[in-house]
Amino acid sequence: MKIVVLDGYGLNPGDLSWSGMEALGELTVYDRTSPAEMMERSKGAEVLITNKTLITAEQMTALHELKYIGVLATGYNVVDIEAAKARGIVVTNIPAYSTHSVAQMVFAHLLNITQRVGYYAEENTEDRWTRSADFCYWDTNLVELYGKKMGIVGFGNIGQATARIAQAFGMEVCVYTSKEQSVLPQGMLKMGLDELFTTCDVVSLHCPLTPDTKEMVNARRLSTMKPNAILINTGRGPLVNEQDLADALNEGWIAAAGLDVLSVEPSVADNPLLTARNCFITPHIAWATLEARTRLMDIAVANLKAYVEGNVINNVAK
């Protein structure tokens, strides 16, 4: 069985092993594959493994041996699922591997914004503390999270993990979800989306990207938020209208934003959020802890092994 990994570098830049997949067939791993290289590299493969490399209906039609596509992520929009279904191609994803790491990144951003740890650590490399007239100094607002309202938009695995951490900080948790109030954990309050944006001190996005949620964070909603409010997005970049958020930050409608995702990745140079006031951006790394990537690799191997054994799991193209 010929197995081709089209873009393995994101998962494994060298600190993990492909041995689990090597045991299942003839394995070829490419760090990255451009659209122009995709067909040549995929010839004769029964199995294609992809993270961000697109696999289209046209390509599937031309790849006669292709029987299995493994997506190295939870989201699988890089594959034409309907075309895969029509051709009987199995498509697997990796569910729930990064829950704790992404929830941790939410609070990495939130604590950076409220305590400005990175800023003060950098200032002290420039000897600012040694020149201070007092035993301490600060020139930013320092914010205590205890008692603040944390709004969670979407209440899947990551939203729930984020909510539990918020409660541990003593925050009041408000949730926008399709779940009924009666099944929410104790102390968590279901809210409508507009009410959540209006009343919460922190809003964290954890919902999937759909036509209904695209640019759900826009000028109208941002204008209703508290001026000291903080927006966190570790979900999907297009959940946010980026120009509207940049304007809201620059005009002081809200206090700050912490973002791990943008609408185009890698970022384009003219993205207005790159220069927006109090906007802190990390390069889509919430999922990339060694622990989360190890789980991802283990599940990817388990998915493929189950396919080989005739017991398909995590198939999103049923």
3-state SS, 211-260, equals CCCCCCECHHHHHHCCCCCEEEECCCHHHECHHHHHHHHHCCCCCEEEEC
Under a CB-based contact definition with an 8 Å cutoff, are residues 112 and 118 in contact? Answer: yes
| CA-derived radius of gyration, the chain | 22
* Residue 144: burial class (beta carbons within 10 Å; 0-12, 13-18, 19+): exposed
Residues forming the active site = 236, 265, 284
